[in-house]
Structure 1
Amino acid sequence: MEMFQTRSKDLSFNKNVDVNLFETTIRILGGLLSTYHLTGDHLFLEKAVNLGSRLMPAFKTPSKIPFSDVNIGKGTAHPPRWTSDSTLAEVTSIQLEFRELSRLSQDPQLVHNLPGKHDGLVPMFINTNSGQFTHKGVFTLGARADSYYEYLLKQWIQGGKTEDDLLKDYLQAIEGVKKHLLRQTGPSKLTFVGELSHNRFNPKMDHLVCFLPGTLALGAHNGLPGDHMDLAVQLMETCHQMYKQMETGLSPEIVHFSLQASDGRAVSTKVFFSRHNLLRPETVESLFYMYRFTKDTKYRDWGWDMLQSFNKYTKVSGGGYTSINNVRDPDNPGPRDKMESFFLGETLKYLYLLFSDDMELLSLDKYVFNTEAHPLPIWPSPPK
């Protein structure tokens, strides 16, 4: 008992500090809930309940659309300094965690009909005062929007596939992607997801979008249309090529695709600043899902090639890995001396799961992964 009390004091959230609601929820709250389920140790649930209650002031807005930042010591919240908007991903990618926290704690406190949707696609920003979408006409599956689409499907799976509104929104969104954002490159016929800005198409794709093959495959595994899996296979090939066509074997943060015949390279890094690599997990995340569902060993082979490239160009002598500035320059990739937390939390975890011989390790029929790779149980698994 004394050891338990000592451990319980090692982590305290009573700090006068501003935190980002979204990042804290997916990383720390999700991690605590996941650890509780995997260990059965109620200490982690107690910490999750404490943190969740400290995050609740973010929801005290006129619209109930949460502020982006909250002071977990003072119990105050505010939007970013430069706007009263919150981003789509921030306000719609916290439900897996808060729904699970509410279920475990039996505390019920803890975007379906808003106007502004375009065939299931939604704008990138929501105003915390009005609760309405802003920056209408700009649609992307990349930064600021990606996990909205991921969480529609995953909430439906988490809840035992009973919440029809979530499924309807997800299916409508995928149809919107196919109608408005999907294109093919010139001769190589790579299928990719671009962006739409006031009805103008931009053949630009963030590496973040490489979560989509895995999400589509997860949906198909749960009974959604077979053409979702067909699209997953095509997009997985594209994300693989985003690595393979770079001189370091590592994908840039942002790629631009050629819609016409060019120098034979379908993938280009049009703008120099987009050539950096942050050790992101999305492609290996999708490789994990694709291998689990198809048993096709090429997905393991692609993951192995990526790991070799990470080891060659980003591993730091003395330990750790670093982001790099230029994936097109193997002689001088430009190490940044910075390793993002998602490399340990997601990239390496998905690589481990990809190469695990135990195909039931964290079974995808028993767990749903949050967007930070923390597994949460699929209901109605009873709380411990």
Structure 2
Amino acid sequence: MIRSLHRRHALALLGGSTLAGLTGLPAMAQSEDWSALGADVKAQFKWAWDQYVDKAWGKDEINPVSGTAQSFFIEGQDLGLSLVEALDTLWIMELDEEFQAGVDWVKANLDFDIDGYSQVFETNIRLVGGLLSAHLASGDPLLLAKAKDLADRLMKAFDASPHGLPYRYVNLKTGAVRDPETNLAEIGTYATEFGLLGQLTGDDRYYAAAKRAMKHALDMRSDLGLMAANIHAETGQFTSRNASIDVYADSFYEYLWDAWELFGDQDMKRWAEECLAAMVAHQGKRYDGRLWFPMVDYETGAVTGTSQTVLGGYLAGLLGQVGLKAEGDDFLATYTEMQATYGIIPESTDVTTRLPRTKRTGLRPEFADACLNLWLGDRDERYRALTAIHWRNMKESSKAAYGFTALSDITTRPMAQGDNCPGYWWSEQMKYYYLMFAEPKRVDLNRLVLSTEANVLRGFR
């Protein structure tokens, strides 16, 4: 059960209509022992890692209630997803023996010459990104070689489209593609990994392909400056009218700004600023005083759906990064209220009623992600305090016999557990918590750039 103490602290942090309107800090933010909290995060991560090693070593994902495992990319063909996702987190936490064991497994066992279809977007952000960050941490050239080998296979999905828009799936062995009906996130979340790979290998084909796909969609923005979320790789045309900040679109917008920060690409910076300004102007809607960004018609701005997913939380941090800090705080306050009300932010919420549209949730990291990005901007302790609530509520509700699990019902007390630890848990929220609480010595927070999967792409000391 989520203790009422957590709810009171969240409500105290919430304050008025926006975080920016608060004065002073609650007792929690003033008295918290951040170092001790960071040590707790590390201890829990190490415990969960030991369970993974014991029950699911080399498998894609562990099922922490039953102690079983499941594949993620290709049924029956594991690619060590959780292991690869965990590598740079292990490195940051100075779990060096565990990190080396993971690297050794990758070098001995990870082979992408598989006759099976893998989702291009997920494969890039999880495996290419994970291998690149592990390479940056260790300097091991074989990790870079494996990242390049995998990216070369993914490039077939770009090459097959007349517009350079990657198909959703590619056969890793044959290069055959399928599923041209795709979306902004799946055609536009490559620039950081591909750009870094290009820098490390001296081959600019990767970044050029990633930027071309993004530019194709950006060139079709409406007079409002919005894009529809769904697009066809073969026709190059939008296949819906819905502009979205979360499902089907979220990381597209993150990668505009990240590409500017990593590579100094002025086009990307301009596009990021234009797109977020258009979102604020035409998608931001108030319901009972709270700011939401529901789906709207990309040409008219009329609301087309009243759901907002937990994935949208990232936008609060991104708004702060691009200089729209007040709007970022305003949107964060909406998710803060959801956290205060339900303990765990619902997977999807009806913006008109603030009631959950789904009872399950998948160990989501986006709220902590937003808090980290806002905290890096001004080191305001309120963001740390909100993240501490997120951490404690996750720990209390999701800890199972063999790790941390997604939930099947957040409305029961205690919350009902599912039986799966998504691969991103190892890379994302556990890293966000540790970076904020422990301020680890192996990372320069002033130079830090993370991928959408929280792989460290710049900032290792």
State TM-score, norm by structure 2. 0.70
CA distance in 2, matches of 1:120, 1:167: 15
Structure 2 counterpart of 1:207: 310
The structure 2 residue matched to 1:301, chosen from 355, 372, 385, is 385
Structure 2 counterpart of 1:233: 329
**SS of residue matched to 1:371:** coil
Tell me, yes or no, if the aligned pair for 1:313 and 1:330 is still in contact at 8 Å: no
**SS of residue matched to 2:364:** coil
Structure 2 unaligned segments of length 5 or more: list them. Answer: 1-102, 207-213
Q: Report the CA distance between 1:22 and its aligned residue.
A: 0.3
Q: Report the CA distance between 1:218 and its aligned residue.
A: 2.3
CA distance in 2, matches of 1:328, 1:132: 41
Q: Report the CA distance between 1:7 and its aligned residue.
A: 6.5
The structure 2 residue matched to 1:86, chosen from 176, 182, 185, is 182
Q: Please provide the CA RMSD for this pair.
A: 2.2
CA distance in 1, matches of 2:169, 2:190: 13
Tell me, yes or no, if the aligned pair for 1:287 and 1:354 is still in contact at 8 Å: no
Q: Structure 2 vs 1, CA of residues 6 and 140 (structure 1 numbering), >3 Å: closer, same or farther? A: closer
Give the structure, 1 or 2, with the largest relative contact order (CA under 8 Å, sep 6 or more). Answer: 2
CA distance in 2, matches of 1:175, 1:357: 32
Structure 1 counterpart of 2:176: 76
Q: Report the CA distance between 1:364 and its aligned residue.
A: 4.7
Q: Report the CA distance between 1:207 and its aligned residue.
A: 0.7
Tell me, yes or no, if the aligned pair for 1:114 and 1:132 is still in contact at 8 Å: no
Q: Describe how 1:282-297 pairs up with structure 2 within 5 A.
A: 282-297=366-381
Q: What is the total number of aligned residue pairs between the two structures?
A: 345
**SS of residue matched to 1:200:** coil
The structure 1 residue matched to 2:451, chosen from 370, 374, 380, is 370
Q: Report the CA distance between 1:90 and its aligned residue.
A: 0.5
Structure 2 counterpart of 1:219: 322
Structure 2 counterpart of 1:25: 124
Tell me, yes or no, if the aligned pair for 1:26 and 1:97 is still in contact at 8 Å: yes
Structure 1 counterpart of 2:351: 257
CA distance in 1, matches of 2:452, 2:236: 24
Structure 2 counterpart of 1:176: 278
Larger helix percent: 2
Q: Structure 2 vs 1, CA of residues 12 and 171 (structure 1 numbering), >3 Å: closer, same or farther? A: same
Structure 2 counterpart of 1:128: 233
Q: Report the CA distance between 1:361 and its aligned residue.
A: 5.2
State, as a whole percentage, how many aligned pairs show the same letter: 25
Q: Which amino acid aligns with 2:359?
A: R
Structure 1 counterpart of 2:193: 97
Structure 1 unaligned segments of length 5 or more: list them. Answer: 221-227, 259-265
Q: Report the CA distance between 1:5 and its aligned residue.
A: 9.8
**SS of residue matched to 1:344:** helix
CA distance in 1, matches of 2:226, 2:442: 34
Q: Report the CA distance between 1:116 and its aligned residue.
A: 4.2
CA distance in 2, matches of 1:108, 1:308: 43
Tell me, yes or no, if the aligned pair for 1:122 and 1:139 is still in contact at 8 Å: yes
Q: Structure 2 vs 1, CA of residues 90 and 289 (structure 1 numbering), >3 Å: closer, same or farther? A: same
Q: Deviations over 1:199-248 (max 9, x none)?
A: 4314421111100111122223xxxxxxx0111111122111111111xx
- Residues 1:38 and 2:140 aligned together: no
Q: Describe how 1:125-204 pairs up with structure 2 within 5 A.
A: 125-135=230-240, 137-160=241-264, 163-186=265-288, 189-197=289-297, 199-201=301-303, 202-204=305-307
Q: Which amino acid aligns with 1:120?
A: G
CA distance in 2, matches of 1:180, 1:268: 24
